[in-house]
Structure 1
């Protein structure tokens, strides 16, 4: 058994996220999966039975009629995960909360509550909100610009972590004989005054068995990568192939070292879409069939504007040159992605129709084939230091079952995946150290 073990997360978008508008048509999937707590609990239990590290819940708070079905009607992450917490024992529970439209004290308290409810299994996926329209739901005329979003995010996380250190581990004496409930010397106010936040503290909640929730972060821009290297325990990313995975892995670990951190305490878990068949050829055909069935051109056109601040591209002639001026609408949105799309469209002289088709073009995945093929490829990526593990996209139920029942045992046989949970907290299972209380 390798001392370094592959980590697995289960990332679900219920009835269908981006590029999967028609997933809900699968008869095995409840048509209300995104708001069906029994379905989430079932997914969590399947993942826990397969010794997954965590259940990962993404979120955003702005929708348009072009949004995918899961975005239109879904449960709030921490409410959802609190319900899952009391029906599971080992699996980590990671929820997305934005630093742009939440206050640090509220975030610290909600996540610390989930951490105690779950006995040390909570995680926080830190985002800055790419959907610029979110501003209008929180009384702002404009979304924060990139630099403000990431400056605010770094300070936000630091304040939250400071609040999580309000109480020392043994502060609550609870001595009935003496009538002494707590030791006042082990309670610490924060008294933070910064550029974006002023928070007195302390937090009215004790530390959990894992010290504090695990920090996750995803961001591919320069600011996003630097933020992740500075504050994250786990980086959620995208790796299209082994070589690019290795390049990102080396880069993020080097950035962590420059931040004075131990690179082995910063894990890289890219998202992975898996298709399993009885033969490699059958798996590729399933990949193609699902790709065609789950998304149409008209749906892709509606969704295309998301990276551009939900700019409406239906107003343009589909067969005219790509409207490069639309990039201006992405300044406070997913600018890195929008610029990549625009640059390619301009350089290749694409029409809007061609750009949309390119966005929905099937890009054959790395983890497609028989169970043996998938397990071998995952082990190769892991041993080549392209990843520390994977966040599996949970789509069609039959495919998730095949992964847990067929691929997981093969990963165990290869010695890269556990046969039992090593601990009771998310930090223990991920191999992450408990943060010291510095007060």
Structure 2
């Protein structure tokens, strides 16, 4: 069965999944300072977390009402987002083992930029980097990059497939022992072990090679969160960590089985991809205290702040609908997996849009778990042993206290049960996650023509598999 893997979720701003985070009386409000993030990284490393990663978006949200009044006024997810990559460098300087992940979009960057950024980060962290791959979700992002509207859902994944092909070619353009550094002979590197990539495809042309030598992990760990049919196919091909939101253990088990079964068509093993479920814990000395803490947190949510973030995620202006009526939207080009979760709220009864906004604002539908440390540990053990996941993404309700409480009270229990490491046994993130250098699709013996064939097969079937 192995042991539980743990990641921490952050946004480089005032909120995370919790829109109450910046208002919470126990939150440190100094989210614009480097020390804020360094302190969080130090706490998580004390708890032996596998990694911390930052979600990101490339625009202030203006989907709700087609302006940013609501999002900025109430502080939605997109009101402030610092670039997470410089923050990782600052966090790396204060830590030694914990993995460090940041988001980069395959829609609004070029593969060479991303390959170079993460190869550099992997060098400077001695093998602790991770790239959270996103295709981006809304028109506000497109308009910041000179485009009128965002790419259609499945075409974003078509582009992302080729994007990952190019980045992996670039990471592999330096062979392992290409760098010589022989001072006596004056020989810096072996040019016969540095290779052009000469990629020409539908979306990208790139000559290469990368101007960063092969990094300690060969390439950063790839994180992905797509949960639509097309997103799952992309994740099965590329992802080494999948971050997912599943409301029930049964849905978690279904998702787990489905994604794991897709890995084999890309020559990958079940253990080559870790599936981590998001949770938001509220911990108390008694269950009653924990429930009080949860209630306090949830009371700080304004319904419109949740609707502002939801509108951004769905790429739909929800201000045109009455707050007293249920959600009237039928299809979206934004995050289809989140749209599915929102629709589930009204499966048994009509839920007014205002209530949907309130619930979305509390946690973006990440399951909240309130209880004593023992109860939290029991819940995690149950989900893990039932093969609903390989571990968890811990999403904070306040910072840094949510992580401190989890590290001090829940992790010791998981360690006592043999479910979590006592100490780091490796130095790289890939070692923490028990991933080989060849756990990704492209680095298998499958050649690039096979990759292209698989990509074509995916592209031709997207209409039937997308949610």
CA 1:145/1:234 → structure 2, altered by over 3 Å: closer, same or farther? Answer: same
- Conserved 8 A contact 1:189-1:202: yes
SS in structure 2 at match of 1:107:
helix
The match for 1:234 is: 241
Write the deviation string for residues 203-238 of structure 1: whole angstroms up to 9, x where unpaired: 011112211100000011111010000001111101
| Paired residue total | 430
In 1, the alpha carbon distance for the partners of 2:388 and 2:352 equals: 35
2:44 pairs with 1:47:
yes
The match for 2:99 is: 92
User: Which is further off, 382-391 or 403-412?
Assistant: 382-391
In 2, the alpha carbon distance for the partners of 1:257 and 1:292 equals: 45
Aligned mate of 1:378, from 370, 374, 380: 380
2:138 pairs with 1:131:
yes
SS in structure 2 at match of 1:126:
strand
CA 1:248/1:181 → structure 2, altered by over 3 Å: closer, same or farther? Answer: same
Please state how far the C-alpha of 1:359 moved relative to its aligned partner.
4.7
In 2, the alpha carbon distance for the partners of 1:25 and 1:257 equals: 46
- Conserved 8 A contact 2:247-2:366: no
SS in structure 1 at match of 2:122:
helix
The match for 1:389 is: 391
2:194 pairs with 1:192:
no
In 2, the alpha carbon distance for the partners of 1:422 and 1:91 equals: 12
Please state how far the C-alpha of 1:346 moved relative to its aligned partner.
9.6
Q: How does 1:214-233 map to 2 (within 5 A)?
A: 214-233=221-240
SS in structure 1 at match of 2:182:
coil
Root-mean-square deviation (CA), in Å? 2.5
The match for 1:275 is: 282
SS in structure 1 at match of 2:40:
helix
The match for 1:6 is: 4
The match for 2:371 is: 369
In 2, the alpha carbon distance for the partners of 1:242 and 1:345 equals: 19
SS in structure 2 at match of 1:401:
helix
Higher relative contact order (CA 8 A, sep 6+): 2
In 1, the alpha carbon distance for the partners of 2:418 and 2:228 equals: 35
CA 1:428/1:334 → structure 2, altered by over 3 Å: closer, same or farther? Answer: same
2:34 pairs with 1:37:
yes
Write the deviation string for residues 87-120 of structure 1: whole angstroms up to 9, x where unpaired: 2100001100000000000000001011011011
CA 1:174/1:361 → structure 2, altered by over 3 Å: closer, same or farther? Answer: closer
In 1, the alpha carbon distance for the partners of 2:376 and 2:355 equals: 32
SS in structure 2 at match of 1:431:
coil
Q: When the two structures are superposed, what TM-score results if normalisation uses the length of structure 2?
A: 0.85
The match for 2:402 is: 399
SS in structure 2 at match of 1:174:
strand
The list of structure 1 runs, each at least 4 consecutive aligned residues, that deviate by more than 6 angstroms after superposition, is 361-364
Q: When the two structures are superposed, what TM-score results if normalisation uses the length of structure 1?
A: 0.91
The match for 1:25 is: 23
SS in structure 2 at match of 1:394:
coil
CA 1:426/1:364 → structure 2, altered by over 3 Å: closer, same or farther? Answer: closer
CA 1:383/1:86 → structure 2, altered by over 3 Å: closer, same or farther? Answer: same
In 1, the alpha carbon distance for the partners of 2:378 and 2:117 equals: 40
Q: How does 1:260-271 map to 2 (within 5 A)?
A: 260-271=267-278
In 2, the alpha carbon distance for the partners of 1:359 and 1:71 equals: 14
- Conserved 8 A contact 1:108-1:163: yes
SS in structure 2 at match of 1:415:
coil
SS in structure 1 at match of 2:18:
coil
CA 1:7/1:193 → structure 2, altered by over 3 Å: closer, same or farther? Answer: same
CA 1:11/1:350 → structure 2, altered by over 3 Å: closer, same or farther? Answer: closer
SS in structure 2 at match of 1:139:
coil
CA 1:44/1:254 → structure 2, altered by over 3 Å: closer, same or farther? Answer: same
The match for 1:300 is: 306
In 1, the alpha carbon distance for the partners of 2:321 and 2:151 equals: 28
Q: How does 1:253-264 map to 2 (within 5 A)?
A: 253-264=260-271
The match for 2:323 is: 318
- Conserved 8 A contact 1:16-1:22: no
Please state how far the C-alpha of 1:367 moved relative to its aligned partner.
3.3
The match for 2:149 is: 142
- Conserved 8 A contact 2:282-2:368: no
CA 1:381/1:188 → structure 2, altered by over 3 Å: closer, same or farther? Answer: same
CA 1:353/1:57 → structure 2, altered by over 3 Å: closer, same or farther? Answer: closer
